[in-house]
């Protein structure tokens, strides 16, 4: 009987916490790691895929060209929640199953978002940059308490953020394609359309998946609606914001600032770096020890469940399997 062969393309994996690797090895299966010590390229990935049964993946692009080398592949187990790099047409054609770990990073992303809110309102990064240039220049900002916050996407991360915001007594406006009415009532939220959020919120924060409905959702039209003193935060997916339109909005002082953790192309090295009033972080929403360990363990458990005949706890639902066709 052929030994199950598992390739880990994401990096790092099981470094600070070895449990995820142990889960695979305890089955007596073959476990191989990304040999490059960094994000793997499509060209590198496809050279490693022949005879692999399961792929534990990160944000690598998994398209038709890559999958051409994956004749034995039966499962992709995603470390994290992002799915936009997967060619779903090809996945369906090849009858490959896909799992992910949507719960594990939620609190870490929500905590980063809260930190970015306070940073933006108090000018922490601006003051830090000035101090490193030996300039003593105090920044007079805003308190978060009592402000109107607009949350687009009331899923796992959005709900965690609502709970974190409770001590600040904010006026929280929310929008979701499938709103949880009981949660909205329990936390005294106000469900509104997106246009109301854009017009009224001091901070607009995005917590939606990348779909046909959300791609390029934040564009020039939206920036024209937003308050001039408003801030935008995106810790979800880069393609939700039109980066050129954000650049123009900052250059033309249509909004006060932004905090961006995700980009169209990563690593990011684009023109948004010109502005002092935008916080740029390197797709690190889930980068905590706790979140990383939970994501890795969840991805490893999905591999074991699949190949031992158990149902996948977190199979990617059909509505998130977005195709371009």
| CATH code of 44's domain | 3.40.50.720
Is the same domain home to 90 and 170? no
Asked whether residue 220 is domain-assigned, the answer is: yes
CB of 203 closer than 8 Å to CB of 165: no
Is the same domain home to 75 and 87? yes
Per-residue confidence (pLDDT) for residue 266, from 0 to 100: 87
Is the same domain home to 222 and 206? yes
Per-residue confidence (pLDDT) for residue 323, from 0 to 100: 59
User: Using the 8-state DSSP alphabet, how is residue 188 labeled?
Assistant: T
Asked whether residue 49 is domain-assigned, the answer is: yes
Is the same domain home to 186 and 220? yes
Is the same domain home to 252 and 123? yes
Is the same domain home to 132 and 196? yes
- Let me know if 266 is a catalytic residue: yes
Asked whether residue 155 is domain-assigned, the answer is: yes
Q: Which of 78, 156, 283, 292 is catalytic?
A: 283
| Domain limits for position 15 | 5-104+288-320
Local mean pLDDT, 10-residue blocks, the chain (325 residues):
90 93 97 94 95 94 94 95 86 96 95 98 96 95 98 97 98 97 98 98 96 94 98 97 98 98 94 98 94 96 97 89 59
Is the same domain home to 18 and 60? yes
Q: Write down the pTM of the prediction.
A: 0.89
Per-residue confidence (pLDDT) for residue 325, from 0 to 100: 40
Is the same domain home to 274 and 296? no
Asked whether residue 238 is domain-assigned, the answer is: yes
Q: Which of 156, 237, 243, 301 is catalytic?
A: 237
Phi-psi region of 188 (alpha: psi -120 to 50; beta: other; left: phi over 0): left
Asked whether residue 223 is domain-assigned, the answer is: yes
Maximal C-alpha separation, the chain? 70
Element (H, E) at 40: none
Q: Which residues contact 128 (CB under 8 A, 6 or more apart)?
A: none
Q: Which of 32, 265, 266, 319 is catalytic?
A: 266
Per-residue confidence (pLDDT) for residue 292, from 0 to 100: 93
Is the same domain home to 150 and 189? yes
- Let me know if 283 is a catalytic residue: yes
**Nearest-angstrom CA–CA distance, 274 and 251:** 10
Is the same domain home to 25 and 138? no
Q: Give the count of domains, the chain.
A: 2
Is the same domain home to 139 and 186? yes
């Amino acid at each position: 009987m052929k030994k199950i062969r598992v390739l880990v393309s994401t990096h790092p994996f099981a470094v600070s916490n070895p449990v995820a690797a142990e889960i695979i090895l305890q089955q007596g299966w073959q476990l191989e790691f990304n040999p490059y010590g960094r994000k793997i390229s499509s060209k590198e990935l496809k050279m490693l895929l022949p005879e692999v049964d399961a792929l534990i993946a990160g944000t690598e692009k998994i398209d038709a060209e890559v999958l051409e080398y994956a004749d034995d592949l039966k499962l992709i187990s995603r470390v994290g929640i992002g799915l936009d790099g997967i060619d779903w047409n090809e996945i369906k054609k090849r009858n490959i199953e896909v799992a992910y770990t949507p719960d594990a990073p939620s609190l870490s992303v929500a905590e980063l978002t809260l930190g970015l809110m306070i940073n933006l309102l108090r000018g922490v990064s601006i003051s830090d940059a000035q101090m490193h240039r030996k300039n003593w220049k105090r920044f007079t900002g805003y308190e978060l308490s009592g402000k109107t916050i607009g949350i687009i996407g009331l899923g796992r991360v959005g709900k965690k953020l609502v709970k974190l915001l409770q001590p600040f007594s904010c006026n929280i406006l929310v929008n979701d394609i499938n709103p949880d009415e009981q949660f909205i009532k329990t936390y005294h939220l106000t469900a509104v359309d997106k246009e109301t959020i854009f017009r009224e919120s001091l901070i607009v924060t995005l917590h939606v998946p990348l779909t046909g409905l959300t791609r390029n959702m934040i564009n020039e039209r939206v920036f024209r609606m937003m308050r001039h003193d408003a801030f935008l935060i995106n810790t979800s997916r880069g393609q939700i914001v039109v980066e050129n339109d954000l650049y123009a909005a900052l250059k033309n002082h249509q909004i006060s600032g932004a905090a961006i953790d995700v980009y169209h192309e990563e690593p990011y090295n684009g023109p948004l770096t010109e502005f002092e009033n935008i916080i740029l972080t390197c797709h690190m929403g889930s980068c905590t020890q706790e979140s990383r360990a939970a994501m890795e363990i969840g991805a490893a458990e999905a591999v074991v469940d699949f190949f031992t005949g158990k149902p996948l706890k977190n199979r990617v639902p059909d509505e998130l399997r977005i195709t371009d066709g």
